[in-house]
Amino acid sequence: MRWEGGGDLRSLSRAGLFAVAAGLREPPYRARQLFGWIHRRLATSIEAMTDLPAQMRRTLAARATLAPLAVDATRESSDGTIKYLLRAPDGARLEAVFLPEEDRRTLCVSTQVGCAMGCTFCRTGTMGLSRDLSAGEIVDQVYRVETDLRARGHPGDRETGRVLTNLVFMGMGEPLHNLEALIAALDLLLDPAGLGFSHRHITVSTSGLVPEMAEFARRTRVKLAVSLNAPTDEQRERIMPVDRKYPLARLIAACRDFPTTPGRELTFEYVLLSGVNDADEDAQALASLAGPLGIKVNLIPYNENPGLGFGAPDPTRVQAFHEILVRRGVLAMVRKNRGRDVAAACGQLAAQS
């Protein structure tokens, strides 16, 4: 690999940084230093890398960039959730959401500015797709939030040094629609010389891009969550246009073929929309899809988005739906609603300033 100069250093793989060092006629250990500064010490500028020779830093700064995402604002929910409004150097706005729980501290990460999938119940879906995020912009959400949480006094884990324990790629965008950048970002986040997340603690969600699911399975060991949201094509294509391209029969076959191992599971996400997909017969049909495959179902009571025309289900309906799944032998959980008061909940991200 040759480095021609230019570009964002944070998006480069380890091999890419070795090519940078070679291109500057520096020894390979300089590439390891660079990697450590960017992905472990979370540097925000080339000048900050004080153990690199001054000349190397000057040349690098002239030929490449390391511009961090700007944290424009944070909004804290009464339940401890923090929504981060971030801005890329070109002005693109995106969001990441910190979700603290007793036993884990999770960041919900975005992969695109907006989304092309057009799910009708989703605030992000109404924006359309502005652009993909680069691998560097994806990992920098993690780095900016990790840095902010440390500054707020959150202690890092004794073993890993990190405040964040888990990552979910369920923010703005369809992660598998930006597959190359996603895989590159995952490689950086999993690298033990960087923040060293475990693949067991990362989940990527998809609306059901069938060919990309197979590609994803081939290229990474992290977990996948399929946003199913309806048990029949008739219902699903009304709320998720992707179903017209990849109907349930193909999606379920792709789920069956997905290579699961202990620590690398596939789950179904199911957003419960009042009067749309939350009837007893929907639960029965869902059990018939998930049961034979042994797939766990996460039920997510809808967070109302004004103007989209969908309502939150009644809690008794959620309970009845859940009970049917359990009675049918399906492992099912009702996900707690988090960050609703700051529009940081599932499907509510729209990078409002």
Phi first, then psi, for residue 130 (nearest 5°) are: -85, -55
Asked if 83 and 74 count as a contact pair (C-beta separation under 8 A), the reply is yes
Q: Which is nearer to ligand SF4, 125 or 313 (CB)?
A: 125
Interacting residue with ligand SF4 among 115, 142, 195, 297 (CB under 6 A): 115
To ligand SF4, the closest distance from the beta carbon of 245 in angstroms equals 13
Name the token pair of 8: 């964002």
Task: Tell me which residue of 319, 212, 304, 229 sits closest to 267, measured CA to CA.
Answer: 229
Name the token pair of 175: 């992660």
Residue 349 vs residues 97, 151, 300, 333: alpha-carbon distances, Å: 9, 25, 16, 23
Bridge-based pairing state of the strands 93-100 and 82-87? antiparallel
Task: Tell me which stretch binds ligand SF4 (CB under 6 A): 14-22, 66-74, 169-177, 195-203.
Answer: 169-177
Catalytic pick among 26, 95, 137, 304: 95
Total of chain residues touching ligand SF4, rule CB under 6 A = 12
Q: Which is nearer to ligand SF4, 81 or 227 (CB)?
A: 227
Cα(143)–Cα(37) distance, integer angstroms: 12
290 binds ligand SF4 (CB under 6 A): no
Asked if 255 and 295 count as a contact pair (C-beta separation under 8 A), the reply is yes
Cα(202)–Cα(223) distance, integer angstroms: 6
User: Is 344 strand, coil or helix?
Assistant: coil
Is 122 part of the annotated catalytic residue set?
A: no
Asked if 284 and 322 count as a contact pair (C-beta separation under 8 A), the reply is no
Q: Which is nearer to ligand SF4, 115 or 230 (CB)?
A: 115
x/- track of binding to ligand SF4 for residues 8-47 (CB under 6 A): ----------------------------------------
x/- track of binding to ligand SF4 for residues 204-243 (CB under 6 A): ---x------------------------------------
Question: What is the number of other CB atoms lying within 10 angstroms of the CB of residue 274?
Answer: 16
Interacting residue with ligand SF4 among 99, 117, 139, 217 (CB under 6 A): 117
38-42 long-range contacts, Cβ below 8 Å, gap at least 24?
A: 38/9, 38/10, 38/66, 38/194, 39/10, 39/139, 39/143, 39/188, 39/191, 39/193, 39/194, 39/195, 40/193, 40/194, 40/195, 42/143, 42/146, 42/147
Is 95 part of the annotated catalytic residue set?
A: yes
To ligand SF4, the closest distance from the beta carbon of 221 in angstroms equals 23
Question: What is the number of other CB atoms lying within 10 angstroms of the CB of residue 303?
Answer: 20
138 binds ligand SF4 (CB under 6 A): no
124 binds ligand SF4 (CB under 6 A): yes
Q: Which is nearer to ligand SF4, 123 or 144 (CB)?
A: 123
Q: Which is nearer to ligand SF4, 271 or 283 (CB)?
A: 271
Interacting residue with ligand SF4 among 30, 88, 93, 125 (CB under 6 A): 125
Q: Which is nearer to ligand SF4, 9 or 351 (CB)?
A: 351
Cα(295)–Cα(101) distance, integer angstroms: 24
To ligand SF4, the closest distance from the beta carbon of 286 in angstroms equals 18
Q: Which is nearer to ligand SF4, 276 or 324 (CB)?
A: 276
Task: Tell me which stretch binds ligand SF4 (CB under 6 A): 19-27, 59-67, 168-176, 247-255.
Answer: 168-176
Interacting residue with ligand SF4 among 119, 149, 289, 325 (CB under 6 A): 119
Residue 328 vs residues 191, 262, 288: alpha-carbon distances, Å: 41, 23, 8
User: Which amino acid appears at position 220 of this protein?
Assistant: T
x/- track of binding to ligand SF4 for residues 172-211 (CB under 6 A): xxx--------------------------------x----
Residue nearest to ligand SF4 (CB): 125
Tell me which residues are annotated as active site.
95, 346
Which residue ranges make up the site for ligand SF4 (CB under 6 A)? 115, 117-119, 122, 124-125, 172-174, 207, 347
